[in-house]
Amino acid sequence: MEYSTHELAKLARVTTRTLRHYDAIGILVPVRTGFNGSRWYDASSLVRLQQILLFRGLGLHLSVIHAMLDRQTDEEQALREHVELLREQRRHLTEQIASVECTLKSLARGEEPMAEHMFKGFDDHQVYAQEVAQRWGRDAYQRSDSWWRGKNDTERQKMASRVQQLNSDWISIADNPDVSAESSQAQEMARRHIAWITEIPGTPAYDSAAHQGAHGRSDNTGMAVKAERYIRGLAELYVEDERFAAQYGGIEGARFVRDALLHYVGHESSELR
């Protein structure tokens, strides 16, 4: 069965303009175009559009979604992972609702809200859950998620403060016109950045460090190569994705971070081996 642009727009509750835009950027191309320029979509188009809308609902940029969908090799498995992550998102929302309801009850009784209950479900660890699973596999997400949930509130706050300080230091050094990405200051920042990444389970950088600790440097070449590729990909993502770029003060700051990281892994690869 095929669907016209208007039929698909009505089914998916999007505008025809949205579908035309998706066609223009290549993320959702019609299966055929009629002699009069009309676009037609099939069942596989519906599945792809469902995924696009899901990712958009999670706040992902279209360029990121496009790359993720193009890397999919097993559509059914991808959908199963989407369902699992939606269930986790539902649990996350349930926690948020319970937190707000608890606050409302306290206010209604004229009591001061209990701080320890006010922010359950509001941690930002879930924000990129879907993307992590798509980019690096479901196992990577589960290991990272388990690691994060195993931390208490104090440990989570310390980790968040560390990341905030790291980002702040990146912005400060990137704003200095006298400091280049290849400078000793920037390379020290790159070292700190990679040290932070290697502490997060589920990433190739973490696996490489763990493997090195267990087996030494001599048999760690393959693991180190994967870690280096991961860091290079992450560095490029900082520039490609506006959400990451914002963490470093904008696109120019993100480019500085990327260039520093790429220089580091290119000239200091022994740090990963």
pLDDT per residue over 209-231, tens digit each? 554 544 444 444 444 677 788 78
Do 60 and 146 lie in one domain? The reply is no
Range of the domain at 46: 3-70
- Cα–Cα distance, 73 to 78 (Å, whole number): 8
**Per residue in 244-262, is it b (16+ CB within 10 Å) or e — as a string?**
bbebbbeeebbbbbbbbbb
Which residues are bridge partners to 143 per DSSP?
none
**Low-confidence spans in the chain with pLDDT less than 50:** 124-125, 211, 213-223, 270-273
User: β-strands 32-33, 3-4: how paired?
Assistant: unpaired
Task: Return the pLDDT at 273.
Answer: 43
Do 107 and 215 lie in one domain? The reply is no
State how far the Cα of 101 lies from the Cα of 97, in Å rounded to an integer: 6
Residues 58 and 91 in one domain: no
What are the φ and ψ backbone dihedral angles of 176, each rounded to 5 degrees?
Answer: -85, 110
The DSSP symbol for 29 reads -
Q: Which of 51, 70, 89 is the last residue of a domain?
A: 70
Q: Do 243 and 267 fall within a single domain?
A: yes
Each residue of 85-129: pLDDT tens digit?
Answer: 677 767 777 877 877 888 788 778 887 765 555 555 555 445 555
Task: Please check whether residues 62 and 78 belong to one and the same domain.
Answer: no
Q: Are residues 181 and 255 in the same domain?
A: yes
Do 146 and 158 belong to one domain? no
Of 70, 96, 125, the one marking the end of a domain is: 70
For Cα atoms 270, 161, 200, give the angle at the middle one, nearest 5 degrees: 40
Whether residues 116 and 190 fall in one domain: no
Q: Which residues contact 246 (CB under 8 A, 6 or more apart)?
A: none
Count: domains in the chain: 3
Which own/partner contact pairs does 48-53 have at CB distance under 8 Å and 24+ positions apart?
Answer: 49/8, 49/12, 49/14, 49/22, 50/12, 51/78, 51/79, 51/82, 52/22, 52/27, 52/28, 53/12, 53/14
Q: What are phi and psi of 255, to 5 degrees?
A: -65, -40
Do residues 200 and 250 both lie within one domain? yes
Residue among 38, 49, 37 at smallest CA distance from 10: 49
CB 154 within 8 A of CB 165: no
Same domain, 173 and 202: yes
Phi-psi group of 26: left, alpha or beta (phi > 0 → left; psi -120 to 50 → alpha; rest → beta): left
Final residue of a structural domain among 150, 179, 201: 150
pTM: 0.52
Residue 159 and residue 264 in one domain: yes
CB atoms within 10 A of CB 205: 24
Q: Please check whether residues 91 and 59 belong to one and the same domain.
A: no
Residue 36 belongs to a domain with what CATH number?
1.10.1660.10
* Residues 45 and 31 sit within 8 Å (Cβ to Cβ): yes
Report the alpha-carbon distance of residue 236 to residue 259 in Å, rounded. 9
